[in-house]
Amino acid sequence: MSFKVNLSKPILCGNEKKYVIDAIDSGWISSIGPYIARFEQAVAALIGVDECISTNNCTTALHLACLTLGLKPGDEVLVPALTYVASANAIAYCGAKPVLVDCDRASWNCTATAFSQAWTPRTVGVLAVHLYGLPSPINEIVDLCHRRGVWLIEDCAESIGATINGKKVGSFGDAATFSFYGNKTISTGEGGMLYVRDPEKICLARMLRGQGMDPNRPYWHPILGYNYRMTNVAAAIGLGQIEMADYHLEERRRIARRYAVNLAPLVAEGLLQLRDSIPGFESTFWLFSAILSSGNKQHRDNVIKSLAEQYGIEMRPFFVPMNCLPMYKTDSSYPVAEFLSEHGLSFPTYSGLTNREIDEICAAVSKTICKTISKN
């Protein structure tokens, strides 16, 4: 189906094309070439860390983070029930078990208290996610992990550039991962980035990324590695994108402010709930999202369907909680994750979405919510 307004689209309005042509002309189109280091350094500078390691996507960056921190079969890692499936999968790839944690009703993220209550004797780490761009209460989570002697990975796939009191997410934990998939805030088509705090483990992460090859001895592979490398062409796009990071971040904040103002009447009527803002926490609004407080899942799905069919507006339902997927099914229930998953919807969010388009989307949403409610 083609839409008049898409949920998301990559906006390549900087030097992306120029850099890609340069990469092609230079002949360096695989995973050796100057754009890789330049892109890694640019991301490290944005996050405020010393060094980053590029990968071919964020799922592989998460896998490398788990391997580098020593995750092994039999171990357990705490992870939000409401996240994109890659967060849990990376744990499972290591033969370890993701232990699901319910999220907070107001912030949609997991609190330190929720992590601590889900603790098991085999817990070796916490994988925190900054969902839809809003930081998790990471200082409290860092404290918890320090107290209990386990590691912390931040999954920043949806939150590059988000801050807590000015400090960027991804710079708090023992490792952090970023996604540059086509619908993320900064995109390389497919791509990812890994940060590892311990300088002694960075070499291991790079080895694991490159088939386990010894950096000082070509074609000698002392450990089982993977090919998780980014190409110079993807990094060329990424460098063009990251140079424009301030623009893309400010655009999303402008869009979110306008949605919030326009949707205030629906919020006042109790039909829609926006996410609580938290003092000192700055979201990147990867996707501006809201909860349809009234009705059920069917109502939410009907709203999405009518907006698509009648107005050509693409909205997106929230992720399916991990406990509802066959491979992570448990006997426990995660009521908040399940509620948010069934009532949540994300709005079109991308740089360049005009105020007029936002106004039209909000008017259509308002009409549709009221109409579908009376039909239910």
Where do contacts with ligand PLP occur on this chain (CB under 6 A)?
Answer: 57-59, 83-84, 86-87, 129, 155, 157-158, 179, 181, 192
307 vs 151: CA distance, rounded Å: 43
**Residue by residue, what is the 3-state secondary structure of 160-192?**
CCCEECCEECCCCCCEEEEECECCCCCCCECCE
Closer Cβ to ligand PLP, 349 or 372, answer by number = 349
Nearer to ligand PLP, 157 or 307 (CB): 157
Beta-bridge mates of residue 196? 175
Burial 35-63 (b: 16+ CB within 10 A, else e): bbebbbebbbebbebeebbbbbbbbbbbb
**Least distance from ligand PLP to the Cβ atom of residue 288, Å:** 15
Neighbours of 92 (CB within 10 A): 16
Residue 224: which residues within 8 A CB-CB, separation 6 or more?
212
CB of 352 to ligand PLP, least distance (A): 21
Q: Rounded CA gap, 274 and 291, in Å?
A: 6
The answer to whether 297 and 311 are in contact (CB under 8 A) is no
Query: Please, which residue, 59 or 306, has the CB nearer to ligand PLP?
Result: 59
In the complex with ligand PLP, the residue whose CB is nearer, 183 or 294, is 183
Q: Which is nearer to ligand PLP, 173 or 192 (CB)?
A: 192
Say if CB 132 and CB 289 are below 8 A apart: yes
Residue 182 CB, nearest approach to ligand PLP (Å)? 9
State the nearest-atom distance from the C-beta of 343 to ligand PLP, in Å. Answer: 19
- Say how far apart CA 79 and CA 97 lie, in whole Å: 10
Q: How far is the CB of 86 from ligand PLP (least distance, A)?
A: 4
Q: Which is nearer to ligand PLP, 136 or 351 (CB)?
A: 136
Decide whether 209 or 299 has the Cβ nearer to ligand PLP. Answer: 209
Count of C-beta atoms within a 10 Å radius of residue 81: 31
